[in-house]
Amino acid sequence: MDNVLTLISNPADGALGSADVDKARIALEKLGAETSPADWLSKDEAADIEFDLVAPESSEAAVRQALNNKPIDVIAQTTLRRKKKLIIADMDSTIVSGETLDDLAEFAGLKDKIAEITARAMNGEMDFFEALKARVAMLEGLSEDFMEETMKDVQLNPGAKELIGTMRVHGAHTGLISGGFSYFTDRVREQVRFHMSLGNKLEIIDGKLTGKVIPPVVTKDTKHDMLIDMASQRELGMTDTMAIGDGANDVPMLKAAGMGIAYHGHSVARKNANARLDHGDLTGALFIQGYRRDEFVF
């Protein structure tokens, strides 16, 4: 069949059951679709239902309604080139659980003030570049030692290593690109084993932050252009690409990618992505590609 609907749950929120899969199939068939029996990618966690005769776009809303807002992610797509050969991932609140700039600001006693600006930027209420300048300026005079202290508390989101490890083993190229700082992207790249990383560079003089970012600045356009360039370098069509992120700064790359995923995203990212992972962890991006849990690699 030409299309596939994937149901993904977070086991911590309650297992995905056969009854949920049956409801999804019935909803598809009410739309006029022909469906296949469920293919379980992971017991009680993720399942595929292949279907024809109905567009993927119209099927998601119908299935979500049938599931009565149960905490299950619903993703419909074509089966064509489902497994991707390139992934670009955002870092803060995507690969790692927090916002590293906000965490760094805690050492200056400014976390709440800076986090408010971060939230506005991620919601698309404030230009990212202006927000970055304003937040970094507040850190003027902060010792660079606090960057190391901040890194000690950085936590990977569940499934980060499995997502990148599995895609690498299957031949995909992987990139970590962030409007955050290279000090953190370099270290997270090593932990998760991305092929490459790119972040902004903080100006440091005499061991203290100057409150400035060294140009060029990584922006939403940088992320978009990097996705295009990396695909072109590997002679890949955009259908073969995946991007994953959570905020307004990720929207251009999410829209450009063959599969753009909003991961526990702000509303602006969720509205502009091909798929939403609101409940599952990062391994959901593997289930979206049709990988089975027994294929995952750390």
pLDDT of 35-90, one tens digit each?
999 999 999 999 999 999 999 989 999 999 999 989 999 999 999 999 999 999 99
pLDDT for position 13: 80
Which CATH number is 1-80 given?
A: 3.30.70.260
pLDDT for position 18: 95
Higher pLDDT, 237 or 298: 237
- Active-site residue set: 90, 92
| Cα distance between residue 165 and residue 89, in whole Å | 13
* Per-residue pLDDT tens digits for 86-120: 999 999 999 999 999 999 999 889 989 999 999 99
pLDDT for position 108: 87
- Residue 53's Cβ-count burial label (10 Å; 0-12, 13-18, 19+) is middle
Could you tell me which of 77, 269, 244, 258 has the C-alpha nearest to residue 163?
A: 244
12 pLDDT more than 90: no
CATH architecture of 84-98+155-206+213-298: 3-Layer(aba) Sandwich (3.40)
| Cα distance between residue 76 and residue 85, in whole Å | 19
Q: What are the residue ranges of CATH 3.40.50.1000 in the chain?
A: 84-98+155-206+213-298
Contacts (Cβ under 8 Å, ≥6 apart) of 141: 208, 209, 211
Sign of the alpha-carbon dihedral angle for 6, 12, 13, 16: positive
Q: What are the residue ranges of CATH 3.30.70.260 in the chain?
A: 1-80
